[in-house]
Every structure is written in structure tokens, then in C-alpha cells.
Structure 1
Amino acid sequence: MVSATSTKRTGCPILLLLQLLIQFTAAVASGIGSIATLRFDPVVLHDLSEETNRTISLIAEFDRDAFVKSGFDRNHSLDENVASALTTVEYFNSSSLEDTNATLVLRKDFQVYGNLIGKTGVEVILTTVDESKTSSNHSEYMEVTNDGQGNVISSTLDVWVTRNERGKFLTKVFVATLVVLITFANILMGCELDLNVVLETVKKPVAPAIGFFTQFFIMPTLAYIIAQSIFVTRGLSSFALGLFVTACAPGGGASNYWTILLDGNAHLSITMTFFSTVASLVMMPLWMHLLGKQFLDGYHPEATIRVPYTKIVSSLMALVIPLLVGVGIQKWKPNVAAKARKIMRPYIVSVLVFVIAFGAYANSYMFFLMTVPALVGGLLLPWCGFMFGCFTSILLRQPPANVTAIAIETGIQNTGIAILLLKFSFPEPDADISALIPVIVASFTPAPLLLGMLVHRVIKAMRKGNENSANDQEQGMNKESSPLEVIHSSSSSLSTRKSYLPKTESDSTLSTRPMIKDFVDCPLLKGAPPNMTIEEQMEVETMGLVKVVKNKAYFKRYQVKPRRRRQGKTDFRARKRLTVQDKNKYNTPKRRVVVRFTNKDIVVQFVHSRIEGDIVEEVAYAHELANYGVKVGFTNQAASYLVGYLAGRRLLAKLNNEVALKQQEVGDKYVVEEVGSENRRAPVYNLDVGLARTVTGAKIFTVLKGVVDAGIDVPHGESRFFGYDSEAKEASPEAHRDRILGKHISEYMAMLKEQDEDRYKLQFGKFLAAGVTPDGLEAMYKKARNAIEANPTRATEASGKREKKPKLSAEEKLTKKEAAQAKKREERKARIVAKKAELLSKKEE
């Protein structure tokens, strides 16, 4: 107990020593702070260019009473690679100071030289001289140790080094030259562009949707992960922001060139480039708002990211306008377009070489800024983009050409937009430092593409060699049996050929016609085509080298699409599904009901397909409704129903297949029901809509309603009939019935008659001329339906076969034409004579 009290009173000796050291350190720091203050003129140096120097004034103010010992100052740069101080150590004493009232002032000038763009600081250190060495004649100064011992004070000048004028000029020249080269390259691409293929790609945007997902969702996410793991952990916020901005940029124009060189889908690449550039107007600000602000550490507190909308729009114009010029050349100057296509690929290769070589020279300063983290991050982004774009498109079962285009479009970014965003948002040198990552990304992008192009070329050469060897083997096998492959290169072969000729009275004369029978057993002419004459065989026989040139369309890889496909009139994929026969039903064609609309008519055909073409079983036209009491309105809903009903009843009459059905009102739900076993099953047809839009309530489904009401079994649902409620999932036969019987037309006619009678007479003039009133419209359509049911046959068929006009011979046609011309001449002469007589009579009066 006593010992404990004694310990508490006296205290621990180690603790006392520690307190003494802390108090001593604090006293030294306080003493140095009261001796002198350091400041610079100018306060900061933010406009120092590369390879230039600036003079900085150092002002040190000392307290007169506190300044006892002599001292020296030492200035050095914190990063000698960015900027360096030309004067390092300078000694001074009290005699070299300016004496003011209460202070001593030291004014010294030193120079700072800019080596490379970046941010650094020039640190000025002021220290005291050891007393023992002050009196000596040796200028030996106390060293400033890293542990802070010694009587020392320091201050740092903030230095920013920017690019010099020469580097800026080279960049401007590079950009201007690149704009001209890329514009011409886009014109060459337009000469090979097919707008129809581009429109097909837009109509079925599966591949562009995949490219949009990989471009604006996978790439920014990937860049954020790389930036957080490589740059942010090392405090490289500028590099992190540059990488993220690059990933958020749209696809670059170089993707189109690489796609062409790698035999990808160039039309898809151009389409994705256009739409990704348009989408970047929204997606770039969105990603900058969501994740971009996290990388602003180290910038000015008020720094904001500004998206260069003008640059994005100008990129669109630079892509679209030259392409349209190329398309115009292809249309109006096809010969020029053909020559342009020949030089396009070599020109694109030369442009890419220029971009890599001159771009590296113009931005050579960036090679000194590159670090291992910057190289790793810039390499991972494009290469991972290629990989993810390729795997995503393969998983979604895209063809190889689309896989190539999507992978390239994903991995190649428009680094120009990324660099411009950084330059718009931040001052130098922050913008140039951040722009290092887009440049590194652009530099590493061609490496895998060049390797892929080399492998692609090697594979193509190997395949071509295999094909040539296979052709040579085939020619060797046919060499003995075909005269077209015989090669005669010497005069001895000529004598050999002559030995097969029969002996005649004159060996110097070669006559082929009398010797046809003697050439039958000639081995050199065996295998010749049967339709080849003897003269042709002899001409082939005497040639030096004859080889079949595969220049016909049959041998070409590119096959021309069918005419109606090129005109956009037939969907052959849908047609194939409608016409292909079932494998287990031999020689049983699939039948279909074809409905087509024109401006003035409706055509309904019952068709089945054969090898030689489509066989039309029966047809009905809307203009035939005039025979059943409908004089006007041949393209409305009521006429659509009636022409479908007419076609169906006409087909059943032709097949002599009266299907017994339960009588239904127009518009009721239709179900095929057989009554009794003596009736045949209703024929089954599939609806062929062609290129018409299958929207709910369309007239094509009103035709379908008329066909099924007539007794034809057409598989269908009710969701496309007029009046179907998509929310309640219920059909409305009443609404459909009113539409079929023209209730909406009669209501509109009555309303228009009351409001504007002149317009009513103008719009429904044909109805009024035919005696059709709003009240009698429904009765007219019901009457027509009953008339069709009573007699669906054609009027010409009812009265017998139509008499055919006799065909005229060429002489008769010419005589008829001359007679018509002579009649016109006589009538013209008669008019002239009458006119003269009239003028003469007027003159006499």
C-alpha cells in the first residue's frame, strides 16, 4: 500500500521523458514559425508551358529579434519529371537582408522549367546553420533530415505545366487531316451501302438491340469495375474518370472500317454506329450523373462534367452526309461507284496506318505519362469489350457476320467525344492528363483486330488453296473424257490429231462435212456435248488451252434475291410457312385464302401451290357486288364482309359442297358444326394477309368473317375482330355486326347532312346518285347478302361461256390501224374546211 502511494506521487520516469520530448518538439516548431514567413510572387504558377521557364520571386520575412544565426534556403521540385527549379541552394546572412522597421526581408528570384505536362510543386526549405560551423570559413550547412529534426521552415509553390504551342499545332493538323480522310472513307463506304438492307436491319432490330445493350450497359459497368479496382485504389482519379467517360462514349467510326476489313456485316455496323451516337445524347449524361461524379476527387470543388452535344451532333453529320453522297454516286454514277469499291479496302488500311503513326507522333508526350496501371486499364477496356460483345451475340444466336460487327462495335469507342468532354469540363493540364486514358484505349484497340485480320486472311488463303486444288483434281479426272480440257502445246500433237483423220485424195485440205461418220471413234472428241457441231469440236480441238470460266450467276456466291422480294411485295419467309406441305401427307397442298386490297377494289382468292406455281381455285372481286345491289362503296367494312362471303359461297358452289350449318345472324361467334353425316367436312384454308398490318378491327379480318360465315373453315381467333376488348378479353359481336352492316356510315351520313349539306353532297355524291340514303344502307347490305346466298355464281357463267373475239393477224391489225388513222385524217380535213368556210362567211359580212 505504501509503495503504491509512493509510485503515484513520484510518477513514471519514462512518462516524464516522453512529455519532455513532446514539449521540446512543440517549442521548436513554435520558434521556427515565429522566425520567418515565406511567400511567392506569383502565388501559383498554372500557365507554365512545356520547354519554357518562368522566374518566381521568393519573399522571406524574418523577425528582427528572433533572427540571430545565419542561414540558407534550398528550393527543389517535388516531381522533377514535370518541372524543375534551376537554382537549388543559396546561402544568406543578416547582411543580405533588407532592413525595415521590425522585420528583415529576403528577396530572391529563381526559375522553374517545364519538362512535361502535369501537376507538381516547387518546395522552398529555409533552415538555420549550426553555430559551430558559422564561425568557420567552410560553407558547410546542416542537412535537413527526413525525421523533421533541425530548425526548418518550408513553403510550396503550386505548379501546373501545360502543352506548348508546337504540340497544340500538331494536334490541330492531325485532327484536320483526319476529318478529310474519314470523310472520303465514308463516301467510299456509301458506294457499297445498300439502303434496303439497312431498312431491313431497322425493321428487325435484334442485332442493333444487342449492340445497344453491350455498348451502353456492359461497357460502362465494366469500366466502373476496372476504374475502382485499378485507379481509385491508387488515387488516380483523373485516369479513372477518363476510362469511365471513354466507356460511356458511343461506337467510333473506325468500327465500320474494321468490320469491312474482317468481312463483317457493314450495314449492321453503320446502323449501330448511327443509333449509338443518337442514344449517347441521353445515355452519356445519365451515366455521368449516376456514377461519373464519384471520380471527381482531386479536381476543383466546383468542377462539373459537361457533355459535348455539339460534337456528338457533328459526328452524326460527319457519318450520315458522306454516306448519303456515296449512295447518290452509287445510284447515278455506277461506274464511279464500282471503281470506288475497288480502292475502298486499301484506302481504309492506309487511313488506319496514318491514324496510328501520326497520332502517336502528335501525342508523343503521353508516352512519358504512361504508367503500369494506366496501360493495364487502357488495355482491359477494349479487349474485354470485344470479348463480351462476341460472347453476347453468340449466346443470342447471331450469324457470324453479325457477331463480328457487334463485337467490333462494342470494343471500339468514339474516343474523340470522350476527349472533347474532358477538355470542355476541366482546364489544362487536368484535361490532358484525363485524356491520356482515351488515347491509350485507342492505341490498344487495333492490336487484337490486326491479329484477327491476319488470322482471317490466312484462313481465307488456305480455303482458297484447298478449293483450287480440288478444282485441279476434278479437271485432272475429266481430262481424258472431255475435249475442253485437252492442252496442245507442240507440233507433234498436231500430227497426232491428224493421224485420226481419214485419208483423202488431198491431205492438205481438211474438209469436215464429208467425214462426220469418221470422227465418231476419235478419242480426242469423246465427251463433247451432243449439241456441238463438228466444226465447233474441231475449233475446240485446235485451241492451245480451253477452260470453263465460271462467270455465270450460277457459280457466284452472291445470289440475286427474287424480284418480288427486291420490290418489297412478298414476304417469302411467311409464304414458305404457308405453302410447305406436311411430310406425312404426300401430295397434299396447303390451301390458303389470299386477301388483297387496292385503292378501288378488294380481291379474295382461294389458292394452293404447286411446283409450277400457284393454282387459283376461285376468286371474287368487290366490284362484282354491283350485280347484287351494292352500287357504291366497294372498299369499306361492309363490302369487305360481302366479298368474303361471296368468295366462300362461290367456292362451295364450285366444289358442290353445301356444308349444313346452323343459321346465324351476321356478327355472331362462328363455330363450324356439321349437321348429319351425309354432309362433307368444310374445306380448311389458312389466311394469307401478305404485307398488310394485322391490327385489331382491320378490314382484312372482316373479309375473314365473311369467308367463315360462308362455310369455309379458316383457323382463327376473335382477338382481331372489330369490337374486341383487350382488357376484358371479350369479343363484341354486336359492335362487329353494326360495323359490317354499315351503321357507322349511316350515322356519319346523317350527322353530316344535318351539319353541312354541301359537304354531304360532295362526299356522298355517288351514294345519292345511286339512290342510297342513310336509312336504307343496312337494308341494302342485307339484301346483297341474301342475293349472294341465293346465287353466288358469276353473271357471265350464268348466261353461258363468254364469246371470245377472233384474233387478228398482223396484216389485219395493220389495216385496222391504218383505217383508224385515215378516218382521223378525213375528220381533221373536214373540220379545217368547215372552219375556213365559217371565216370566209364572216369576212364577207
Structure 2
Amino acid sequence: MYKLLLAASLSCAVIAGVLLAMGNGPAAGPALFLFFALLALAVRGFAAFRGFAYTLWIFAAVTISMFYPQYFIQVGDFQLKKLIVPLLQLIMFGMGTAMSLGDFAAVIKTPRYVIIGVLCQFTIMPTLGFALANAFAFPPEIAAGVVLIGCAPSGLASNVMSYLAKANLALSITITALATLMSPFVTPVLMQLLGGQYVQVDVWTMMWDIIKMVIIPIVAGLVFNRLARGKAKWLDEAMPLVSMVGIAFIITIITAAGRGSLLTIGPALIAAAFLHNTGGYLLGYWSARLLRMDERSCRTVALEVGMQNGGLASAIALQMGKVATVGLAPAVFGPLMNVTGSALATWWGNHPPPDTEPEARRPEEGRRETGGGVPVQRAVPDTPIP
């Protein structure tokens, strides 16, 4: 069946290509959508490519929003962009339910690797984003979006990729959690320093916005986890799916809102996002190596630095009132990092460090899977942080 789906998807790609070559772009939309959707179903039958299914679904959604943006901007009198912040808050609440105060014990016991990871996170990506925004000479608000995605903390996707890469999963979870909790105070200051020349940045307003979107939902999730531990297993099963659908919907809304700008600067923005993302992997890895971290932890830092919380950056852009411009870079960066992150994690997973112990290779404690077979790690450290 999967081979038939693959053949059907390739047929749709050919049809879309012919229609585009004939100058009949609008008619190519459904064929392109079917290509990505059928390919997303087809890759589930191939273990080496199964991890790309979610990203292909995002591409399918983005395709529809590019060809039919009117359906993703407004329904009646209700503007769909108003859903971005509630969706992010729901995702952050889910992150909180998967955490406990014990997850931060490693910061106190063995802080060196955690501090290195967080410092790399909040120095490499903001600086690289600023450099790329200037190098590509983007319009001011587009450039501000490139800087913004660099100033955001790492996202939950980095934890999944660390698991697949046989990296230091406990370190990944701790860096993500700490960077996320620091973001209300660090991200606005970095945006003022590096992005203030492109757009007006109100540090205190942005700080409060991030607290509302991140800290309050995470704290609520922590409290819920504390009070309902073991009593809401359905929530553990549902939240990964809710998070994936939420992120896909956020990207779709932003793509529709910024369609005009994407058609003008899309290729350049994709190139900048690719360099930003892969540059984060490269600089994160070698910074960790220079600081004499072990191989598994170097891989973790690379993934934490290169993979950002695009949902948070998109919500910040919305709160700034510039989701159609500042929000474009996060919308492009998100799907792209899933492609590169999956590829890098798969390659590393097939080349485990020589000192990797069997239990570190397959951390089972707290492990659960989404419907697509992608492991989502509950925030319980199960490998040591040096």
C-alpha cells in the first residue's frame, strides 16, 4: 500500500509540474497538496523516512494556505490569527504537564554543561540571525523576524531529535526547560539590542507577553502534574498530538497572512533560514567540542542551538502586531529545522558514540510515542548530565 501511495504522490508532483510549466499556477495547488499529503502517508511505510511525515503534513498545509489564503485569514468576522497565542499557551501547558521540579535538579548538582548549553543558545543564534539579516539586506520587518527566531529559546523538537541522535537526552530536556523559563527576560533584551534598529521593541511589554504565553501556562502545567500525577494518562497521550496540530495551524495562519511577502522574498528567506539553522548546529557542536564536552553532549548542544521555538517567536510577532512580516522567518524556520534536524539526528543515530551504553541508547523510562511513531520524551532525566 505504501508503494502505491508513493507512486500516487509522484504522479501528483508530475501533474503539478506540468500545470506550473503551462502557466496554470492556480490549478497546480490541489495537485501539490495531494503530493505532500500522499507522500506523508507513504513515508510511514519506510523506517528511514518515517520521521519526516509530520514535516510533509506541514508542507501540505502551507501549500493550501499559499494557494487559498482567504480560508486561513478570517472566518466571518473572526480573524484566525487570534488563535495563535491560545494555541501556544496550550502547547506550553502541555510542556508543563510533562515536567516536574526534579527536572531542574541537574542544574544545581552539575551545572557546567547546562550553563554551556544555555549560553550557546542565547549567543550563537541571536548573533547569527543578526549577521544573516544584514547580509541578505532584508526589509526591516523581515530582518527583525530573522533576529527574533534567533533570540527565541530551543523548542521541544530538540528533545525528540536528541533521543533519535542518541545524544544526552537529560541534558537536552534541562537546557530546553531552563532556556524556556529564561526567555521572558533574555529574549526581549536581545531583541532590543539586535533587532531594535529594524522595528520598535518595547522590552517590558514583550517581557510580560512572554510571561503570559510561556511562564504562566508552564507553571499551571507543573501544578496540574503535581496534583493529578498518574490520574490523567489521557493527557499524556493527547498533548503531543495537540502540540503538533497547534504548531502546524500556527504556521499555516502565518503563511496565509504573509503570502504577499513570501512570494517576493521567499527563496532568499528560505536560504537565510537554512544557513541560520545549519550554522546553529555547526557552531553549537564545535563550541561544545572546544569546551571539552563529551560527544553525546556535543550532539545535544548542537541540536539545542540549531532548533528554535518557532511557535513562541510567531506569537511574539503577533503581539507586536506584525505577524505577516516579522512572523514570516519563524514560519519558514520551523518546517525547515524539522527536515534538517531529522536528517542529522538519523545520521547520528546510525553512528552512535563509541562510549554510548545500551541503556543510554534506548532510554525507555517515561518514553511514549505519538501516532506517527515519533518518540516524545517525558521530561524525566534518564541519562546523566556530567
**Structure 2 residue 245 is the aligned partner of structure 1 residue 354:** yes
Secondary structure of the residue that 1:231 maps to in structure 2?
Answer: coil
**Aligned twin of 1:165:** 74
**Aligned twin of 2:292:** 397
Residues in 1 aligned to 2:163 and 2:218: alpha-carbon distance in whole angstroms: 16
**Aligned twin of 1:217:** 123
**CA deviations over 1:564-603 (Å, ceiling 9, x no partner):** xxxxxxxxx9xxxxxxxxxxxxxxxxxxxxxxxxxxxxxx
**Structure 2 residue 266 is the aligned partner of structure 1 residue 363:** no
**Aligned twin of 1:703:** none
Residues in 2 aligned to 1:251 and 1:223: alpha-carbon distance in whole angstroms: 14
Change (3 A) 1:412 1:225: same
**Structure 2 residue 133 is the aligned partner of structure 1 residue 227:** yes
Runs of 5+ consecutive residues of structure 1 not aligned to the other structure: 1-115, 118-162, 297-302, 461-466, 468-552, 559-572, 574-845
One-letter amino acid of the counterpart of residue 201, structure 1: V
1:99-110 alignment to 2 at 5 Å?
Answer: none
1:180-199 alignment to 2 at 5 Å?
Answer: 180=90, 183-184=93-94, 186-187=96-97, 189-190=98-99, 195=102, 198-199=104-105
Residues in 2 aligned to 1:247 and 1:262: alpha-carbon distance in whole angstroms: 23
> In the alignment, is the contact (CA less than 8 A) between 1:281 and 1:309 conserved in 2?
yes
**CA deviations over 1:310-338 (Å, ceiling 9, x no partner):** 232231233344245446666xx4xx69x
2:341 to 449, 453, 461: 449
Change (3 A) 1:175 1:290: closer
**Aligned twin of 1:316:** 215
**Aligned twin of 1:824:** none
Change (3 A) 1:340 1:198: farther
Secondary structure of the residue that 1:452 maps to in structure 2?
Answer: helix
Residues in 1 aligned to 2:363 and 2:144: alpha-carbon distance in whole angstroms: 48
Change (3 A) 1:367 1:455: farther
Secondary structure of the residue that 1:214 maps to in structure 2?
Answer: helix
**Aligned twin of 1:375:** 270
> In the alignment, is the contact (CA less than 8 A) between 1:393 and 1:403 conserved in 2?
yes
> In the alignment, is the contact (CA less than 8 A) between 2:254 and 2:324 conserved in 1?
no
One-letter amino acid of the counterpart of residue 254, structure 2: N
**Structure 2 residue 147 is the aligned partner of structure 1 residue 237:** no
Q: Which has the higher helix share?
A: 2
Change (3 A) 1:278 1:184: closer
**Structure 2 residue 317 is the aligned partner of structure 1 residue 422:** yes
Residues in 2 aligned to 1:400 and 1:262: alpha-carbon distance in whole angstroms: 11
> In the alignment, is the contact (CA less than 8 A) between 1:227 and 1:240 conserved in 2?
yes
2:330 to 438, 443, 454: 438
1:299-314 alignment to 2 at 5 Å?
Answer: 303-306=200-203, 307-314=205-212
**Aligned twin of 1:64:** none
Secondary structure of the residue that 2:271 maps to in structure 1?
Answer: helix
Residues in 2 aligned to 1:198 and 1:432: alpha-carbon distance in whole angstroms: 37
**Aligned twin of 1:202:** 108
Change (3 A) 1:228 1:172: same
Secondary structure of the residue that 1:245 maps to in structure 2?
Answer: helix
Residues in 2 aligned to 1:305 and 1:392: alpha-carbon distance in whole angstroms: 32
Change (3 A) 1:309 1:353: closer
**CA deviations over 1:250-303 (Å, ceiling 9, x no partner):** 33344344444545444433432343244434433433443323224xxxxxx4
**CA deviations over 1:660-688 (Å, ceiling 9, x no partner):** xxxxxxxxxxxxxxxxxxxxxxxxxxxxx
More off after superposition, 360-369 vs 442-451: 360-369
Change (3 A) 1:410 1:319: farther
Secondary structure of the residue that 1:220 maps to in structure 2?
Answer: helix
Residues in 2 aligned to 1:239 and 1:447: alpha-carbon distance in whole angstroms: 22
Secondary structure of the residue that 2:325 maps to in structure 1?
Answer: helix
Change (3 A) 1:185 1:249: closer
Residues in 2 aligned to 1:328 and 1:456: alpha-carbon distance in whole angstroms: 38
Residues in 2 aligned to 1:452 and 1:390: alpha-carbon distance in whole angstroms: 12
**CA deviations over 1:186-218 (Å, ceiling 9, x no partner):** 42x33xx682x6313323211121122212222
One-letter amino acid of the counterpart of residue 312, structure 1: I
One-letter amino acid of the counterpart of residue 354, structure 1: V
> In the alignment, is the contact (CA less than 8 A) between 2:152 and 2:313 conserved in 1?
yes
**Structure 2 residue 185 is the aligned partner of structure 1 residue 276:** no
> In the alignment, is the contact (CA less than 8 A) between 2:176 and 2:304 conserved in 1?
yes
Considering Cα pairs closer than 8 Å and 6+ residues apart, tell me whether 1 or 2 has the greater RCO.
Answer: 2
Change (3 A) 1:214 1:354: same
Change (3 A) 1:423 1:454: same
Change (3 A) 1:169 1:267: farther
**Aligned twin of 2:301:** 406
> In the alignment, is the contact (CA less than 8 A) between 2:269 and 2:329 conserved in 1?
yes
One-letter amino acid of the counterpart of residue 172, structure 2: S
Q: Percent identity?
A: 23
Change (3 A) 1:439 1:367: same
- Aligned residue pairs: how many? 283
Secondary structure of the residue that 2:344 maps to in structure 1?
Answer: helix
1:459 Cα deviation (Å)?
6.2
> In the alignment, is the contact (CA less than 8 A) between 1:418 and 1:438 conserved in 2?
yes
One-letter amino acid of the counterpart of residue 252, structure 2: Y
1:387 Cα deviation (Å)?
2.0
Residues in 1 aligned to 2:293 and 2:120: alpha-carbon distance in whole angstroms: 14
One-letter amino acid of the counterpart of residue 178, structure 2: F
Runs of 5+ consecutive residues of structure 2 not aligned to the other structure: 1-64, 67-71, 353-357, 365-385
Residues in 2 aligned to 1:434 and 1:409: alpha-carbon distance in whole angstroms: 23
Change (3 A) 1:312 1:323: same
**Aligned twin of 1:836:** none
One-letter amino acid of the counterpart of residue 252, structure 1: G
1:446 Cα deviation (Å)?
0.6
1:457 Cα deviation (Å)?
5.9
**Aligned twin of 1:384:** 279
**Structure 2 residue 150 is the aligned partner of structure 1 residue 247:** yes
Change (3 A) 1:179 1:262: farther
Q: Which has the higher strand share?
A: 1
1:106-117 alignment to 2 at 5 Å?
Answer: none
Residues in 1 aligned to 2:222 and 2:167: alpha-carbon distance in whole angstroms: 18
> In the alignment, is the contact (CA less than 8 A) between 2:150 and 2:308 conserved in 1?
yes
> In the alignment, is the contact (CA less than 8 A) between 1:198 and 1:268 conserved in 2?
no
